[in-house]
Copies of this chain bind each other. A is one copy, B any other.
Amino acid sequence: MAKPLNISPDRLFPAEGKTRDIARALYAEVKALPIVSPHGHTDPAWFATDANWSNATELLLAPDHYLYRMLYSQGIALDALGVPDRSGAPATDPRAAWRLFAANFHLFRGTPSRMWLDHVFADVFDFDVALDASTADLYYDRVNESLASPAFRPRALFDRFNIELLATTEGAHEDLDHHAAIRASGWAGRVVTTYRPDAVVDPEHHDFAAAMRRFAELTGEDVESWQGYLAAHRKRRADFRAAGATATDHGHPSAATANLSPTEAEALFAKVVGGRWTPADAELFRAQMLTELAAMSVEDGMVMQIHPGACRNHNHKLFESHGRDKGCDIPMRTDYVQALKPLLDRFGTETRLSIILFTLDESTYARELAPLAGHYPCLKLGPAWWFHDSPEGMRRFREMTTETAGFYNTVGFNDDTRAFLSIPARHDVARRVDCAFLARLVAEHRLADWEAADVARELAHGLVRKAYKLDDPAFAPRAAEAVPA
């Protein structure tokens, strides 16, 4: 018999009665605030075309590496889940894939994926029985039926989800056509882009050569000369700002920065474009480029996001068969103190610079990141990220950063997701965990209740707008300019 699906209004609140009451009161202040999603990976084509999604497996399962990673770890083949390999999507029946997922849904007990999905199932699709083998078909059919209806098209859900702003991420070598189409369509939803130059900054990126060619085409610059290459970045940053971007994003293996002389930087670049670089050269070039891009941020005011520390594509055989982003990126120990010093020695006191730091290495929260953000005006702390974007991970983030960095050197929540339907669930988890943390401070007489309510609103809505300069007039006018095709 099917089990009930209960999404308790008290989920994630502490069990202790007084503290739970305080958490409830704080959450009531922030529950209905609009969602600002300043960093994520949804597909702008969805909002440009507003086409219906196809089916439950293709929307919810096959693209979500959080889900198939866990199923794969228990011996389930990716093909059987409909996950594409290098030759494309497998010939797997999507209903069969869904049934396999449903029969193994117990594997997600205690994980945030389980919590996000249950929220989606209950709130978006109105289920009141839990997903398991016995309800797999019920789920599959109802989700598909819903997805075919107008109320479940991307723009309708965007409005229903009360999203105030959604940022996608595009490469420096990619066009912004979907963003142009969104603007041209007259739809009022605010979907902006983010400048992610990794593919033209990282010589070890599998796509580096092709991305550099495209980078040259899009900018008309000689990107094989150092000055032309830097000019190309400046041009594309202007394009991205015109498409609403207020931020850049950098996903490097480490947080290393460098501060080479112009001559040294040019010589290094010559090695890189000449294809004569070593892995150490590649690391140094990425490091130098963070500093060069910081210089551009000092000029144009774009906020830098640094997301370091993942060992990408750790499973060699799976990378060969299925390609990148297949749930086998593994975090590594990451240093910030020495790594960021070259950049900070040069720009650490620039008032126009703002860098948001993320980590996959929680041991740096209290030791490195909170002290850095608690001192440098240009540094802020991004929220708990990726593997740590979870109730326990968020709790540790607050417990380990607040006492040194305070709340006001943090930047609210990032969902960082391509799973559009889960965005409200993810923001809701963040709000609940923050309210639970604040409730403990109030219950332990470390903060007054009215202060906690003030902080809760900042964490849910205020700080993100400020940190990403969403109300900065320097960005607003540009955002109103025509978007290049």
A299 within 8 A of B: no
Residues of B within 8 A of A18 (CB): 15
**Is A11 a contact of B444 with CB atoms below 8 Å?**
yes
When the two chains form the complex, which single residue of B6, B316, B361, B362 contacts A448, counting CB atoms closer than 8 Å? B6
Asked if A440 is an interface residue, CB under 8 A from chain B, the answer is yes
Stretch from A219-227, A282-290, A344-352 at the B interface = A344-352
* Cβ-based interface call for A84 (8 A): no
Q: A3 to chain B: which residues have CB within 8 Å?
A: 448, 450
Query: A480 interface residue, CB < 8 Å from B?
Result: no
Interface hub of A12, A366, A447, A451 (most chain B Cβ within 10 A):
A366
The residue in chain B whose Cβ has the minimal distance to the Cβ of A387 is B404
Say whether A214 faces chain B, with CB atoms less than 8 Å apart. Answer: no
Do A406 and B311 touch (CB < 8 A)?
no
Q: Give which listed residue, B73, B115, B374, B454, contacts A376 with CB less than 8 A.
A: B73
How many copies of this chain? 3
Residues of B within 8 A of A72 (CB): 375, 377
A327 proximity list for chain B (CB < 8 A): 375
In the complex, which residues of chain B have a beta carbon less than 8 angstroms from the beta carbon of A130? 448
The yes or no answer to A153 lying at the interface (CB within 8 A) is no
Judge if A333 is at the interface, Cβ distance under 8 Å.
yes
Cβ of A368 and Cβ of B70 under 8 Å apart? Answer: no
Does A474 touch B at the CB level, under 8 Å? no
Contact present for B375 and A367 (CB under 8 Å): no
A379-416 vs B, Cβ < 8 Å mask (1 yes, 0 no): 10000000110111100000110111111110000000
**A68 nearest in chain B by CB position:** B375
- In the complex, whether A372 has a CB less than 8 A from a CB of chain B is yes
Q: Is the beta-carbon distance between B337 and A332 smaller than 8 angstroms? A: yes
**Chain B residue nearest in CB terms to A75:** B377
Q: Note all chain B residues with C-beta closer than 8 A to A376.
A: 73, 315, 328
Tell yes or no: A276 within 8 A of B by CB. no
- Cα distance A14–B11 when bound, in Å? 18
A-B contact pairs, 21 of them (CB 8 A): A8-B445, A11-B445, A12-B446, A15-B18, A16-B16, A70-B374, A72-B375, A73-B379, A74-B408, A110-B446, A110-B447, A111-B402, A130-B448, A316-B344, A316-B348, A332-B368, A333-B335, A361-B363, A362-B363, A366-B388, A390-B403
With A13-B444, A70-B374 given, name 16 new contacts (CB 8 A).
Answer: A3-B448, A11-B446, A14-B15, A15-B444, A73-B377, A107-B406, A109-B447, A317-B349, A328-B375, A330-B337, A330-B368, A331-B337, A366-B387, A366-B388, A366-B393, A387-B403
Residue ranges of A at the interface with B (Cβ–Cβ < 8 Å)? 3, 6, 8, 10-16, 18-19, 69-70, 72-75, 106-112, 115, 130, 311, 314-318, 327-333, 335, 337-338, 341, 344-345, 348-349, 351, 360-363, 366-368, 370-377, 379, 387-388, 390-393, 399-400, 402-409, 440-441, 443-448, 450-451, 454-455
